[in-house]
Amino acid sequence: MAKSSLVDADSLLAVEIGTVNTRALLFDAVEGNYRFLASGTSTSTVAAPMYDAGEGVRMALDQLHNISGRLLVGMDERLMMPSTPDGSGIDRFSASLSAGQPLKVAAVGLLDDVSLKSVRRLVGAINSRIVETLSLDDRRKPEAQIDSIIRLRPDIVVIAGGTNNGASRSVLKLINTLGMALHLLPANFRPEVLYAGNENLGGNVTSFLENLVPFSIVPNLRPNHGTEQLGPAELMLTEIFRKIHGRKTQGIQELDTWASGMLQPTSIAFGRVIRFLSRVYDPTKGVLGIDVGASSTTVASSFSGDLRLKVYSRLGMGESLVGLVNRTKLEDITRWIPLDVPDDYVANYIYNKAIYPASLPATRADLAIEQALAREVIRAALSQAKETFPKDLSGPKRAGLLPWFEPIIAAGSVIAHAPSFAQSLLMILDGVEPTGITKIILDKNNIAPALGTAAVLNSILAVQVLESSSFINLGTVISPVGKARQGSPVLRLKIIYDSGQENIVDVKNGALQTIPLPPGRSAQLHIQPLHRFDVGMGGPGKSGRLRVSGSYFGIVIDARGRPIRHSASPDRRRELLVKWHKMLET
């Protein structure tokens, strides 16, 4: 990978504006390679009482200045760009945004499981919510459709449908209904309209809509029956995202100007990093990224460059926690709490956290609830994301389980800023339930979105920082899948350290255990599944060997079963949760 020395290295300042926090991250070349140097964090100021994203950015830059000693903002309150010979300022600036209410989308397409499916995939990549759909499957009268659009006032309308040279009359009929609604919307509520349908109709649709609404046209999402192309539409959607947030939120336009008009949705930037990694890692496995935010959770899964990206705007650790309660039973949350906490207290906690999303769990009980919620947020997001995975992935034969992924990258304050890495790892293992052999990587400093935005400006920087120690390699996790009685041996591991020392470990069904292998060391690992358990080495019962690099926990064997089953006895359940936690802490 790119290890060349950098002669004229450009420093980079990357800013990420989240719902609760705004972060500024500084990257520069150190001894010929790009490195993440420092970060500053501030409360986000997108919402009340400041309503100006720029204030939070300035405070984050102040903190970064205090930490790094580097002057970033001049006396004129402007970013110092390019850098000066005395080391002040920066050369490049990038920005990403995840804060703000989800954009309201109206999706227009011919068929629910074809063109509308593509629209859902497209807009799912940003923090958005489909509030209305118009299609041939819609049995409502046109007036009902019109009234609904007027009432819901979408921010964006995406029109798809008809392959090129395919259906045209049906598409035009839908657009005519849409046009009547748009015509009736007051000018300040008219949405951005993106046309990504039958290209033969492009001229007609353009002349019909371009004087009515802000209008964009991109190549067809479904040019023919077997092809789906989201790339060009995604680029335009990003531009629309910038325009809308620039209008809605003070300070965003200025940031976009600093970023040379390249401000990105955080999810898209995160997805870009996951896609890149999937091209580098084992092509027989996917790469999975999960970012648990205050207002939403992003799941990015990529399979040899084929990215599936979805922002779950109803699944976050802040205001949207109430949405989790509506889709999950309370006992699904409380089953992860190792303390005896009354159900009412947990329910109250959820609603109070929704009122004060920036508040922190100061007590052990509150932290346990928060981390239980994080597990269920991840599980709920992944259970939906699984529906979007390609059908022919390699993985365990049992339905509903996660296919083989390596690595799995986790981000978001609740995981990254947990008091211990043991807590971070347990949240990831319990939420994701990985299968086979994988590496768990923690994005401790929320660097991934910054690298995604940086990749556009400086791909060498993105690659070199990804390869550096800026991400925490928590461990190589082996999760065998199969059926056996609790306590039966299911794996035999032989570890040959570089020193020549050997160690044999038998793992019993239900166990969670670690074999230390510190960072900087490596070892040869022979894995022998028993009872036809599957670890992803060619099928049930197949054994194999691999080279393992050292990491914070070394080798982690999670033989607790997939899915993890909890004891019906609350005392026994809590006992086990404590035991798992202690095992990792020690």
Query: Which residues between 11 and 40 bind other proteins (CB under 8 A)?
Result: none
Give the number of residues in contact with other proteins, rule: CB under 8 A. 53
Q: Which long-range contacts (CB under 8 A, 24 or more apart) does 207-212 make?
A: 208/175, 208/179, 209/175, 209/179, 209/182, 212/179, 212/182, 212/183
Looking at residue 190, what DSSP letter applies? P
What is the rounded CA–CA span in Å between residue 28 and residue 72?
13
Instruction: Give yes or no for residue 352 binding other proteins (CB under 8 A).
Output: yes
Instruction: Give yes or no for residue 358 binding other proteins (CB under 8 A).
Output: yes
From the CB of residue 376, how many other CB atoms can be counted at a distance below 10 Å?
23
CB 414 within 8 A of CB 370: yes
Instruction: Give yes or no for residue 263 binding other proteins (CB under 8 A).
Output: no
Considering only the stretches 186-194, 264-272, 486-494, 576-584, report the one whose residues sit in contact with other proteins under the rule CB under 8 A.
186-194
Cα atoms in the Cβ-side hemisphere of radius 13 Å centred on 55: 12
CB 270 within 8 A of CB 352: no
Nearer to other proteins, 27 or 336 (CB): 336
Instruction: Give yes or no for residue 497 binding other proteins (CB under 8 A).
Output: no
Nearer to other proteins, 329 or 483 (CB): 329
For the bound state, the minimum distance from the C-beta of residue 427 to other proteins, rounded and expressed in Å, comes to 14
Cα atoms in the Cβ-side hemisphere of radius 13 Å centred on 57: 29
Instruction: Give yes or no for residue 417 binding other proteins (CB under 8 A).
Output: yes
From the CB of residue 276, how many other CB atoms can be counted at a distance below 10 Å?
21
Instruction: Give yes or no for residue 419 binding other proteins (CB under 8 A).
Output: yes
Nearer to other proteins, 20 or 530 (CB): 20
Among the listed residues 85, 186, 500, 520, the single contact to other proteins using CB under 8 A: 186
Instruction: Give yes or no for residue 343 binding other proteins (CB under 8 A).
Output: no
Instruction: Give yes or no for residue 526 binding other proteins (CB under 8 A).
Output: no
Cα atoms in the Cβ-side hemisphere of radius 13 Å centred on 373: 31
Among the listed residues 43, 227, 383, 522, the single contact to other proteins using CB under 8 A: 43
DSSP readout, 280-323? HS-TTSEEEEEEE-SS-EEEEEEETTEEEEEEETT--SSTTHHH
**Beta bridge partners of residue 11, listed in sequence order:** none
Instruction: Give yes or no for residue 350 binding other proteins (CB under 8 A).
Output: yes
Among the listed residues 84, 227, 348, 486, the single contact to other proteins using CB under 8 A: 348
For the bound state, the minimum distance from the C-beta of residue 295 to other proteins, rounded and expressed in Å, comes to 10
Among the listed residues 227, 356, 459, 578, the single contact to other proteins using CB under 8 A: 356
**Beta bridge partners of residue 129, listed in sequence order:** 104
Instruction: Give yes or no for residue 100 binding other proteins (CB under 8 A).
Output: yes
Instruction: Give yes or no for residue 211 binding other proteins (CB under 8 A).
Output: no
Instruction: Give yes or no for residue 183 binding other proteins (CB under 8 A).
Output: yes
For the bound state, the minimum distance from the C-beta of residue 475 to other proteins, rounded and expressed in Å, comes to 20
CB 109 within 8 A of CB 116: yes
What is the rounded CA–CA span in Å between residue 197 and residue 571?
58
Instruction: Give yes or no for residue 66 binding other proteins (CB under 8 A).
Output: no
What is the rounded CA–CA span in Å between residue 72 and residue 90?
7
Residues that bind other proteins (CB under 8 A): 42-43, 45-51, 59, 100-101, 141-143, 146-147, 150-151, 172-173, 176-177, 179-180, 183-184, 186, 188-189, 344-345, 347-348, 350-352, 355-356, 358-367, 417, 419-420, 423
